Amino acid sequence: MSGASSRSLQEYLDAEYEVVVRKTAKGYTVCIPSLGLAHTGKELEASYASLSSKKEAHLREFASEDLLHLVPFPGEESASHVEAKPRSVLQQVKPFLVKAAISALLFLGAVNVIGQGLGDTGYKLEKQLEGLSNWSPEQVEWHRARSAKIAEKLGPTIRELVVMFRDPAPAVPAIPAVPTASPDPAAAAAPATSAKP
């Protein structure tokens, strides 16, 4: 709390706040900038009286909520009007650093979990592959037949997918052969004869 908190409501009501008067097309606008109060009226005295009533109601409302210490007293700054001290660069960067550290820990944790999972899977697969050499010919034939059945069931679907992912090369029309002109015009006019040996 500021030093103004020890003041009573009556001191605030009796205090002389700066009043700004401005002549407008509608008459006069009077305001107390430090309290954020204003009133516009045709006559100056009536506008000032209305502003005084607004000031009193404003101060009484703050006093009823026990917030009078937030209202600026003439010549003093209230707690709500004191500017905050600028933060240092470290204070400004601290939220970013905390978020970056948390993100890095989460990322490393995820990499660790995924790495362990892949390592376990790889180890299990390696153990299963080592066991393949110990299979009997009947087991090999059973797995081969099972794979053939799976391939037979999935074959049409796979063929459709292959067609979808095939790189469509643009169709290039065949270029017809162009007859070449002979350099001798007399040879071009002469009928073609076939020579027999």
Please, what are the domains in the chain? 3-70 (3.30.160), 89-165 (no CATH)
The pLDDT assigned to 183 comes to 57
Q: Which residue has the tokens 């305001």?
A: 31
Q: What CA–CA distance (Å, rounded) separates 41 from 47? A: 5
The pLDDT assigned to 102 comes to 93
SS (H, E, C) 83-130: CCCCCCHHHHHHHHHHHHHHHHHHHHHHHHHHHHHHHHHHHHHHHHHH
Average pLDDT over residues 2-21: 78
Would you say residue 62 has pLDDT above 90?
no
Count of residues for the chain?
197
Percentages helix, strand, coil for the chain (3-state, rounded to 5) are 55, 10, 35
| H or E element in which residue 24 lies | strand 20-24
Q: What CA–CA distance (Å, rounded) separates 5 from 67? A: 9
| Nearest-5° Cα angle at 73, 72 to 76 | 85
User: What pTM value is reported for the model?
Assistant: 0.39
Q: What CA–CA distance (Å, rounded) separates 30 from 40? A: 6
The pLDDT assigned to 87 comes to 74
Would you say residue 2 has pLDDT above 50?
no
Tokens of 34: 């430090």
Proportion of the chain above pLDDT 90, given as a percent: 12
Would you say residue 28 has pLDDT above 80?
yes
CA torsion, points 79, 85, 90, 92, in degrees to nearest 10? 70
Average pLDDT over residues 36-58: 90
Average pLDDT over residues 116-142: 77
Q: What CA–CA distance (Å, rounded) separates 197 from 193? A: 13
Tokens of 179: 């007859």
Residue 8's DSSP bridge partners are: none
Q: Write down the mean pLDDT value for the chain.
A: 78
CB 62 within 8 A of CB 70: yes
Would you say residue 168 has pLDDT above 90?
no
Mean pLDDT is lowest, of 27-36, 45-54, 71-80, 184-193, for: 184-193
Residue 38's DSSP bridge partners are: 31
Average pLDDT over residues 105-130: 79
Higher pLDDT, 39 or 134: 39
CB 41 within 8 A of CB 87: no
